């Protein structure tokens, strides 16, 4: 029987890395929803469209082909026939993603795609509103958080490991604080912890410790007698 694990939380909380590890351990699909918003935001900026302009972005969407492919268990994001999986991993794409994610026209289109994927197979999905809006009936929900400083350090390390040696900690911190405001204050499906989600503060925990904590909680839910 297919099931869903929803991981929500602010930027830099470690959701993507943790979701990927959990998916690998459980041998299920990992869907990175943030990558989808990054692709749309990146295209808007590239075309000189403000990622906050719902009318213009909506028109752009009509001629946009966004395809999520899974190759050898890894997610690839294809935008208008081009693999942009690496190109979307920049602070600029991150900020544009935060902007377009506030637009109902974008969220409706991408949520429909996300729900379609989830209806066919068991998966882990991470984002800002997975447990509250995208998959409100997910069997397992977690809300991950961490201090702003810790999240900025993690994001900087991630960017540097991908070859970006010019970005500074101050730039990354400012981007995270901007996204926090955008995500929590948007009118449509804002970032918030679902009432039935388990809060996990990852500030002082290793990735492995968080993964094991979540896997243990899932196992307990699956086997109540062992709890």
Does domain 4-219 sit in CATH 3.20.20.70? no
Domain boundaries, the chain: 4-219
| pTM, to two decimals | 0.80
With a CB cutoff of 8 Å and minimum separation 6, the contacts of 9 are 15, 126, 128, 143, 144, 145, 191
What's the pLDDT score for residue 44?
A: 98
What's the pLDDT score for residue 179?
A: 87
What's the pLDDT score for residue 156?
A: 92
With a CB cutoff of 8 Å and minimum separation 6, the contacts of 188 are 102, 103, 104, 107
Tens-level pLDDT at each residue, the chain (227 residues):
789 999 999 988 989 899 999 999 999 999 988 899 999 999 999 999 999 999 999 999 999 999 988 888 788 999 999 999 999 988 899 899 989 988 999 999 999 999 998 998 899 999 888 999 999 999 999 999 999 999 999 989 988 998 888 999 999 999 999 889 988 888 878 889 999 999 999 999 999 999 999 999 999 876 544 43
Phi-psi category of residue 4: left, alpha or beta, with phi > 0 → left and psi -120 to 50 → alpha: beta
For residue 194, give the H/E element and its range: none
Query: Rounded to an integer, what is the distance from CA 146 to the centroid of its chain?
Result: 15
What's the pLDDT score for residue 223?
A: 57
Q: Within a 10 A sphere around the Cβ of 26, how many other Cβ atoms? A: 16
> What phi, psi does 205 have (nearest 5°)?
-115, 145
């Amino acid at each position: 029987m297919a099931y869903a694990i929803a991981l929500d939380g602010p930027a830099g909380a470690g959701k993507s890395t943790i979701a990927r590890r959990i998916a690998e351990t459980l041998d299920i699909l990992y869907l990175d929803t943030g990558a989808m918003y990054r692709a749309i935001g990146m295209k808007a900026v590239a075309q000189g469209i403000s990622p906050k302009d719902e009318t213009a972005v909506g028109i752009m969407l009509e001629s946009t082909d966004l395809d999520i492919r899974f190759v050898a268990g890894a997610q690839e994001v294809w935008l208008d026939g081009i693999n942009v999986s690496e190109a979307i991993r920049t602070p600029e794409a991150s900020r544009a993603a935060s902007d377009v994610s506030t637009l109902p026209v974008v969220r409706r289109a991408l949520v429909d795609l996300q729900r379609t994927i989830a209806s066919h197979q068991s998966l882990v999905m991470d984002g800002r509103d997975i447990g509250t809006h995208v998959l409100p009936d997910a069997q397992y929900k977690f809300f991950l958080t961490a201090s702003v400083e810790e999240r900025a350090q993690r994001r900087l390390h991630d960017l540097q490991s991908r070859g970006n040696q010019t970005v500074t900690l101050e730039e990354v911190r400012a981007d995270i604080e901007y996204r926090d405001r955008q995500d929590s204050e948007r009118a449509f499906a804002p970032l918030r912890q679902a009432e039935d989600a388990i809060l996990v503060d990852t500030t002082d925990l290793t990735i492995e410790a968080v993964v094991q904590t979540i896997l243990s909680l899932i196992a307990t839910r699956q086997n109540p007698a062992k709890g």
